[in-house]
Amino acid sequence: MKKIYISMFALTALLFTGCADDYLDVDQTEAISTGDIELFNNDAGATTFVTAIYNKFLDWDTTSFGWIGLTSITTDDADKGSSPGDVGTDKDVLDALTYNASNPSSEGNFKAYYAGINRCNQALNIIPQLDKANADLRARLIGEAKFMRAFMYFTLVKCYGGVPIVDHLPNPSSLDDKNMLLTRKTAAEVYAFIESDLNDAIGALPLKSAYSADEKARVSKGSAYALLAKVNLYQKNWQKVVENCNLVTGYSLVAEYASMWRLAGENGPESIFEINGVGSVPAKGIKQYSQVQGARGTGGWGWGFNTPSQSLVNAYEPGDVRKAATIIFKGTTLYDGRVVPNTVENDRYNYKAYSSNYTGADDSDANVIFIRYAEVLLMKAEALNELGQTSEAIPLLNQIRNRAKLPNTTYTSQDDVRKAIWRERRVELAFEFDRFFDLVRTGQAKTAFEADKSDAFPNGKVFTEGRNELFPIPESFLNEAKGLSDQNPGY
């Protein structure tokens, strides 16, 4: 049975409840007295503070329904799904790209990631004080917290552009401190902060091979290099992408693409950063992640949201094994023998979210893979091609194609290979939360949405340039910031 980072002391459950209405809520920190800290002054106690960070990714807003809506239903890969009358609170307006600054999913995501950053800051503040814990362990845990904080800020800057940088526990008695932490920074400043955290993490984290079997889901030095390469990719620092991808060692492509989303294939040789879910009691999974995307209706087991679009179906070449591993089609039989009857409401569902052992349960054993080695190869290929080294990029692209049972690409020019890499990212990483941001960073969004055809949008979703590149800063935050931060264009 795989290990999940769930075990926490009773006291910790009270301390790490996340932010309340106040964006800079510090109540949970104030609750930790000197005596309380001493309870954690050992190896297990120190580890608990980082466990709490991993646990944040099991929450409803961090990785489940709101996140799915924000990063997947908004794309040309997916439609809202479900029943026409069930809007999932706001998934209809996300699907139509007509959301505003009061959108619940955007607000929930914003708050959830800052609550996670708060946990990182708590860990970074408290762990150095735990002098009875092993020094090497404390150094590693600080590296894990730095990685997680960097990942959370990378998510925020992709979604919202420049955001406030909260790099320490707020001083509740200092208005100047609160105002500083509520002031929005530029995207460049956020990226610089992310890179600083990742460089610190690289110096502190071990290789993946150094972890024991029951800790294999923890982030490693390779995780930090891979995320740094991705941060470089979004800034078009092509040479740095190549350099950091070259430092991601000890990973390999698995032979069977579909295996990564099955229980036996979790945290395998391709996995670089993966969040574990366990369906058994008292452990928990990623809250309703599988359930909200499961087949809906008679013979189904879920709510039916985030259904694969016809546009995505059409993106797969004949013979590409990734289509059958990514999309559940009604009327077919799944790998565990489950029959998907023709009585379910939607034609297609997300196979990567399927849980065989806990089908339809609130908490399933489905994992979420945020970074894997295939993406490292594609990032390196894209960067080499942009540097004019197209002949060196093509073999990397072909590794991905060949694993999918496709022949080598026939393209040789820089522009054709660029487009081929973009297409390969789409089908390789479908439903892994990258598509929306890929469309924006590569300038494909408007054209891609115009080309996307579905029952809901026969003429394609309308992507408004100058607006839809970023999600709105939540109105609730701007009200608290009181002029210290501004809204994104178009909202």
Tell me if residue 305 falls in helix, strand or coil.
strand
pLDDT tens by residue, 407-450: 999 999 999 999 999 999 999 999 999 999 999 999 999 999 99
Q: Are both 240 and 161 inside the same structural domain?
A: no
For 345, residues 6+ apart whose C-beta sits below 8 A from its C-beta are: 82, 83, 296, 297, 300, 304
Cα separation, 220 vs 140, in Å, equals 9
Assigned token pair, 192 = 């610089």
Strand-pairing partners, residue 329, are 348
CA 180 centroid distance within chain: 28
Residue whose pair of structure tokens reads 């026939």 in the numeric block: 410
- pLDDT for the residue 170: 86
Range in 84-98, 269-283, 287-301 the model is least confident about? 269-283
pLDDT band at 25 (very low <50, low <70, confident <90, very high): low
Q: Are both 103 and 218 inside the same structural domain?
A: no
Q: Are both 344 and 195 inside the same structural domain?
A: no
In a domain, 27, yes or no: yes
Q: Are both 390 and 416 inside the same structural domain?
A: yes
Cα separation, 13 vs 17, in Å, equals 7
Q: Provide the residue range defining the domain that includes 469.
A: 7-205+460-491
Residue whose pair of structure tokens reads 């982030």 in the numeric block: 219
Is the model more confident about 280 or about 193? 193
Tell me if residue 20 falls in helix, strand or coil.
coil
Cα separation, 397 vs 417, in Å, equals 9
Q: Are both 335 and 404 inside the same structural domain?
A: no
Inter-residue contact 37 to 195 (CB < 8 Å):
no
Assigned token pair, 320 = 């590409």
Tell me if residue 288 falls in helix, strand or coil.
coil
Q: Are both 78 and 160 inside the same structural domain?
A: yes
Q: Are both 394 and 263 inside the same structural domain?
A: yes
Please say if the pLDDT value at position 19 is more than 50: no
pLDDT tens by residue, 267-286: 999 999 999 988 766 667 99
Please say if the pLDDT value at position 137 is more than 60: yes
Mean pLDDT of the chain: 92
Our count of domains for the chain comes to 3
Q: Enter the pTM of the model.
A: 0.94
Average of per-residue pLDDT across 114-119: 95
Q: Are both 250 and 199 inside the same structural domain?
A: no
